[in-house]
Amino acid sequence: MPITFDGKLVIAISSRALFDLDESHRIYETKGLEAYSAYQRQHENEILQPGVAFNLVKKLLALNNDRVDPLVEVILLSRNSADTGLRVFNSIKHYELSIIRAAFSNGASPYAYVPVFGAHLFLSSNPEDVRQALQAGCAAATIFNKAAALVNDTPQLRIAFDGDSVLFSDEAERIYQEQGLAAFAASELAAAETPLQGGPFKPFLAALHKIQQEFPADNSPIRTALVTARSAPSHERVIKTLRSWNIRLDEALFLGGLAKGEFLKAFHADFFFDDQTTHCESAALHVATGHVPHGVTNK
């Protein structure tokens, strides 16, 4: 029988999202590819420190523990060559991460392999790779480096999402940007019974929800949250949209424009996804954060 990822949550991740490669990347930028390649070979037995998305990946892979049929597949997509990527695989082995598949593109963008692997999520430090993955129909985010040392040590995986342009389309955000808050609130109140269209992260949330259904609701290894700048009365459409999708979010924070960082810290988020860089900058002071370059605010 051929190997397939049917029924699994598939995560594609770049080496710089998984590990701290800032030092070697600086060598690449200042001294060029040849110096970078030599540096990686010289240090290939030195273990890399965890990167921003390391804790997320570790907890996702832990969902496979003691299971005959794994729930999650994590795939490394890297601009390294196979030769310079040996240090990355040595580090994967050191941390006992069950990542066995990889694509090394030797300087080219690896985004084309994201849909081929059937990934639900792609995390990278390269904004252009992320944009191309989004255009190919995959949830994708550019990591913010500020929170690499902020690790939630609780065993439960906690993921938080912004709403508009992330879980939902940017249809409502467009009205806010073009006509202002009053028009946005009036429009959302009038459309309260009309579900929002899905955004780029809807399939990823649905895949997480499918895993959650494998466990009792009060003892799930995954907890999700919506953390949005919306407030009443625009909350109603969001709630009814999720109801129409038959997708559970464990928590919902309607913050009415308040900075999100402290709330994400209180939620103990392992990772947060937002389309607006201002929200990402606030969040990244407290939790690992990914910018989703999608929707009207990123045009």
Catalytic residue list: 162
CA angle 256, 259, 261 (to 5 degrees): 130
- What is the CB neighbour count within 10 angstroms for residue 63? 17
- Token digits for 203? 């399939």
Report the alpha-carbon distance of residue 188 to residue 164 in Å, rounded: 12
Half-sphere CA count of 156, side-chain side, radius 13 A = 17
CA angle 22, 262, 248 (to 5 degrees): 95
Distances (CA, A) of 298 to 14, 210, 237, 291, 292: 22, 30, 23, 10, 9
DSSP track, 247-258: ---SEEEE-TT-
